[in-house]
Structure 1
Amino acid sequence: MTVVTPEGTPSMSFTADKLLLFGATGDLSQRMLLPSLCALHADALVPEKLNIIGTARSELDDDGFRNFAADALNKFLPDYRKSAIPGFLQRLTYQALDANQTAQFADLAAKVGPRQDGLAIFLSTAPSLFEPTIAGLQASGLADETSRIGLEKPLGTDLDTSRHINDAVASAFPEDRIFRIDHYLGKETVQNLMALRFANILFEPIWNAHYIEHVQITVAETVGLEGRVGFYDGAGALRDMVQNHMLQLLALVAMEPPSRFDPAAIRGEKTKVLRSLRTVAAGDTVTGQYRAGAIDGASVPGYADELGKPSATETFVAIKAHIDNWRWKGVPFYLRTGKRLPKRTTEIVVQFRPVPHSMFAQRGAIAQPNRLVIGIQPEENITFTTNAKVPGLDRGGLRLREVPLDISMEDAFAGPTKRIAYERLLLDLIEGDQTLFVRRDEVEAQWAWIDGVRKVWTDNGITPNPYGAGSWGPTAAIALAAKDGVAWHE
C-alpha cells in the first residue's frame, strides 16, 4: 500500500512476503545474507509467511540451493542459532538465471509466484549487469508498484557511471522504493552516533568549530586482496572505502540536527554536509600501495605480488578534508584507510580544543584537551578522556592525568542480542524503512567529491607511495597530519 509522508512524498508501507536474492550463491550471500536471514527467522522477526527465492547463474534446483545454504549456515552461523537452520531452509527456493537473457526472467517471475503483500529484491551484481537486470525485472512484471529494490555497491566507478546506473534503476523504481545499501549504516555504533549527539545535552552544544580542533576517521584493514582481485584493482581504496563508508561516517559526525528521526530529515542533513565538502588540494592527500612485510608476525606479499603484475592502484589513502559551513569552518577532518595495516580497526576520534585558560599551569600541571573516541569495529565502544587530579599531597607540584571514561557497548547492553549490520538492513528492506539507506543525491554528492580527488591526483601526477605491510602507511601520511601538529590516533 502506498501512503504519503508529511513531506508529501509517497512511501511504500508494506511488509514483503517475498524476498528475491540476486547473487544468492556468492560470497556475500554465504557470509552475511543467509546467516542474517536465518538469525531473523530464529527470533521470529520476519513474517512467518516470508518466502526467500535465490537466483544466480549456478544451475541448482530447490534442494541443491538448500544444501548450499545449509553448508554456508553451518560454517558462518553461530552455534547457538544452528537449531533454527532446518526450519529456515524450508523458506528457500531457487531459480537459475542469466541476467543477460531477458526471456529467463519469465521463469524467475513464475518461481516468485503471486505476492499477497509485496516483493523485496536484494540486488548484488556487477555494474555491467544492472541495466539488463532492471530490464528483465520490468519485462517480467517483477518491478511493479508492489516491489522495492535494495542495491548493493558498487554503484558505478565515478559520477557519470553512477548516474547511468541510477537512471536505469529509476526507470523501473521510484526513489521511495530504492534502498541503496551501505552496510556501515547498519552497525550499532554508527547508529549510536546520532544518539550520542542528539540525545545528550553534554555534546551537541560543543559539537562545532569553537570547541573541536579536528576529527579523525580511520578504517584500517589487515587483509590484502582476499579474492577480490578483479574488483579491487579497478577500484582502489578511494572508491572502495572513502566514497561510501568513510564519507557516510563523516556526514553523520558533521550533519546538523535533523528535525525528526525519519529518512527524509536524516538523509537531507547528510546530503548538505557532502555538498559542503571543499575540493581537496594537492598537498592534502596521500596515496600508498603496500609492499611485502609482516602482519602479526607472519610474512605477507606485496600488492603487486598478490596481483601478479605491476599496478598503479592505491591500497592506502589519507586525506585532510574541510567542510565549508558555519559549524565546521577551519576544522580539518583527517581520513585514513588502507589494507595490510597493523590492526583491523574502524574508529572516529573527535579532538576537542584545550581549555582557554588553565589555572593549574602555575602549579606545574598540564591539562590535556579532551578526546572522544568512538570505536566501530572490531570492538564497539565509546571512550571520553577527561583530566583528573593524581591523588597525593602535591608537595612536588599538582599533577593532572588523563582518565578515560569507557563505555563498552557489549558490557552496557549485555542482554539484547548483538545484531550484525545486514540483519538490520535486510529487515528494514523487508519492512520498507529507508532511514539507514542512501538517497540518490547523497551518492552523487559523494561521487562528485571523489572525482575531484582523482582529478587532483591526475593533474598533479600523484601516485602511490610504497609502504611496508604491517605499517601505518607511507611516511607522507604521518607528515600530512604532523604539519598541523596532529598525530594519528593509533
Structure 2
Amino acid sequence: MDRTCRARMVAAPPRRAPRPADPCALVLFGATGDLTHRLVIPALYNLSRTNALPESFALIGVARGRTTTQAWRDDLRGSLEKYIGGAIDETAWRRLADRMRFFPGDLSDPGFYEALRGQLDAMPETRGNAIFYLAVAAQLFCTVTQNLSAAHLLDQPLDEEGVQKHWRRIVIEKPFGHDLASARDLNARLQKIVSEDQIFRIDHFLGKDTVRSIMAFRFGNGLFEPIWNRDRIDHVQITAAETVGVETRGKFYEQTGALRDMLPNHLLTLMSMVAMEAPVRFDAPNILAKKAEVLAAIPEVAPDCAVRGQYGPGEVLGRAKQRYRDEPNVAQDSGVETYVAMRLEIDNWRWAGVPFYLRTGKHLAKRLTEIAIRFKPAPSTPFRDCVDEMRPNWLHLRIAPDEGISLRFEIKRPGPAMDLASVRMEFRYDDWFPKEPNIGYETLIHDVMTGDQTLFMRGDMVEQTWRIVQPVLDAWAEDADVPAYASGGAGPEQADALLAREGRRWLPIEA
C-alpha cells in the first residue's frame, strides 16, 4: 500500500533578491543555431520577464549569413512560444529584442574579431564587460577563443590603482572533450589563453531548482546530515531517463553516444553534489573544492561494472517507435549506445562501501531524472510476528519533470492488528511556490553575468570525470556488441543483472 502525504506550507521569510548583474554585452556565437532557439533566447526572455537582466545590456548575435537584425529577431520570436510553453509577454520580448543586433562574420577570419571589438567599444553603456557565449561545434572552441585573444577581446586591464577596468568571460557548451586525452588538451589550450576564472563550462542540469537545493536540503537540516553516510545509506540510484530518441541528432549521436553525452557532465556532477562534504562557506571556491574532492575519490570504473544498450523497435507513450539504426543519419550497423548503466564507489571515509548506480537512456517508458537514496532497513525483530522483512526507507530528489522531494516510510495501518504500511510524504515545488518560467539556463546565464562559478565545472573536475569512465570507453571501443532493448521499456536486461549480483534492484521506470 502506498499513499502520498503532501507537505504543508509554513511561514517563510521574504525571498532574498539575487545579486544584481553588471552591465554587459553578450556576444552569442552560433546565433542562428538550434541551441540558441531552444535554450539561450528563451532563457534570456525569461530573465527579461522577471526583470533580472542588467539595466544596460546588449545581445550581439554572431553567425554566417546575410540575415538582418530584424530578420534574426523575427525568426527567434517565431519559435519562442514553442520553447517557453505558453503565451509571450510582448513587453518582456520587446525589452530584449530592442537590445539585440545581428553581426554576421566568418569565425576563422581575424578581421572579423577586429570589427567585433569596434562594436563592443561603441557600447559605453556596457562598461566594457562582455560575455562570449560559444554555442558552436566543439571543434571551434579553441579557434574562436584564440581569435578573441589575438584581437585583445579577452583582456581584463587594470587601472592606475590596480582595479580591474572591466571583465571578459567565455561560456562553453558541452561536450568538454570526448575522452580524457581530448579534455586535457582542450583545458591546456584554453588555459594558455584565458584564466580559469574566466571560463564557464555550462550544463543545464545544474540550473534546476532541485539540483541546487540538494546542498540546502543536506546541510540546512539537522535531521538528514547525521545519517548521510555509509552507516545508514545502503546505496544510491541516479537516473536520467528520456522518452525521446535521437530525433534529428543522429549525426551528433553517432560521434557521441549516451556515455559521452550524459555521464561525465550531468550524472557525475549530480553524484558529486549528493556526496560532497559541507563547505566552509557557500561560495564558488569552497563548493567547487568539495565537489572536486568527491570526483578525485571515485576510482576508475571497471568495464564489468558498466552496461550499455541500443534501443530497438517498440512503443513509447502509446506511439510506435523505430529502432536506433533506422533513425536519420545513423549507420545500419551502428554500435553506438543509447543506454548506459554503471556501478561506482567513492573511496573516502563517508562513503566507503556504498555503491552508486547511475543510468541514462533514450526511448524509455517514462521521462524521469531523479536521485533515489535507499536507507538501510530497521531491524525486523520487534515486528517478527507481523512482517517477514522490514521495507527500507527511500528518499527521492526529483529533478524532472515534477521537481520535488519525497520520503517513503512505514506506519501502522489502522485497526487492531500491528500491520505496517508504506506511505510517501511529498514536497513539490509547484505546490509550495509560485511557478516561474524556467528552462534551466536562466540561473546559469545570470551567474555568468555576476561571475558566480558555483554551478559550473572547473577544468580539473572535467578531467576527473573523464578519468573515471575512460576504461569503459577503451573497452567498448574494442567490442562492437551492443545489446538491444525494446523502446518503451526500462533498458537492457543486463542492467538488471548489474544490481542483482549484489542482491539489489533498480527502482522501476514505468509510464
**Common fold: TM-score over 0.5:** yes
Partner of residue 398 from structure 2, selected from 372, 375, 381: 375
Give the counterpart of 1:343 among 366, 370, 385. 366
- Say which SS state the counterpart of residue 214 (structure 1) adopts: strand
Contact kept, 8 Å, 2:380 with 2:387, in 1: the verdict is no
Q: CA deviation at 1:42?
A: 2.1
Give the distance between the partners of 2:341 and 2:54, measured in 1 at CA: 44
Instruction: Write out aligned runs for 1:70-109 (5 A).
Output: 70-77=77-84, 78-79=86-87, 81-109=89-117
Q: Which residue of 1 aligns with 2:481?
A: 463
Alignment match, 1:452: 471
Could you tell me how far 1:140 is from its partner in structure 2? 2.1
Q: Which residue of 2 aligns with 1:191?
A: 212
Aligned AA (1:276): A
- TM-score, normalising length: structure 1: 0.93
* Paired residues for 1:268-287 under 5 Å: 268-287=289-308
SS in 1 for 2:51: coil
Distance in 2 (alpha carbons) for counterparts of 1:193 and 1:337: 20
Aligned-partner residue type, residue 469 of structure 2: I
1:290 equivalent in alignment to 2:301:
no
Q: Give 1:117-196 correspondences, 5 Å limit.
A: 117-145=128-156, 146-196=167-217
- 3-state SS, counterpart of residue 471 of structure 1: coil
What is the CA-CA distance between 1:458 and the residue it aligns to? 4.5
Query: Which position in structure 2 is the counterpart of 1:223?
Result: 244
Could you give the per-residue CA deviations for residues 35-73 of structure 1, whole angstroms, max 9, x where no partner exists?
111111122211121011111123222222222222122
Residue aligned with 1:227, SS: coil
CA separation of 1:258 and 1:462: change in aligned 2, threshold 3 A:
farther
Aligned to 1:5: none
Gaps of 5+ in 2: 1-19, 157-166
Residue identity opposite 1:263 in structure 2: A
In the TM superposition, residue 363 of structure 1 has moved relative to its aligned partner by: 4.2
Q: Secondary structure at the match of 2:385?
A: helix
User: What's 2:423 paired with?
Assistant: 403
Aligned match for 1:39, one of 43, 46, 50: 46
1:328-387 CA-to-partner distances (Å, cap 9, x unmatched) read 111111111111111111011100001145412234475311110111101101110111
CA contact (8 A) 1:367 1:400 kept: no
Q: Give the superposed CA RMSD.
A: 1.8
Q: 445, 449, 460: which one pairs with 1:426?
A: 445
User: 1:459-479 deviations in whole A, cap 9, x for unaligned?
Assistant: 6x4732111111111111111
Cα distance in 2, alignment partners of residues 293 and 237 from structure 1: 19
Match of 1:267 among 284, 288, 298: 288
Q: Is the 8 A contact 2:23 2:55 kept in 1?
A: no
**Distance (Å, rounded) in 2 between the aligned partners of 1:183 and 1:66:** 24
Distance 2:456 2:359 in 1: 23
Cα offset, 1:410, TM superposition: 1.1
3-state DSSP class of the match of 1:180?
A: strand
Contact 2:23 2:56 in 1 (8 A): no
Contact 1:100 1:129 in 2 (8 A): no
TM-score, reference length from structure 2: 0.89
Q: Distance in 2 between matches of 1:76 and 1:420?
A: 9
Deviations 1:172-211 (A, max 9, x none): 2211111111111111000111111110111111111110
8 Å Cα contact 1:53-1:112 kept in structure 2: no
Counterpart in 2 of 1:60? 67
SS at structure 1 position matched to 2:410:
strand
Q: Which runs of 5+ in 1 are unaligned?
A: 1-12
How many angstroms does 1:422 deviate by? 0.4
Confirm or deny that 1:213 pairs with 2:234: yes
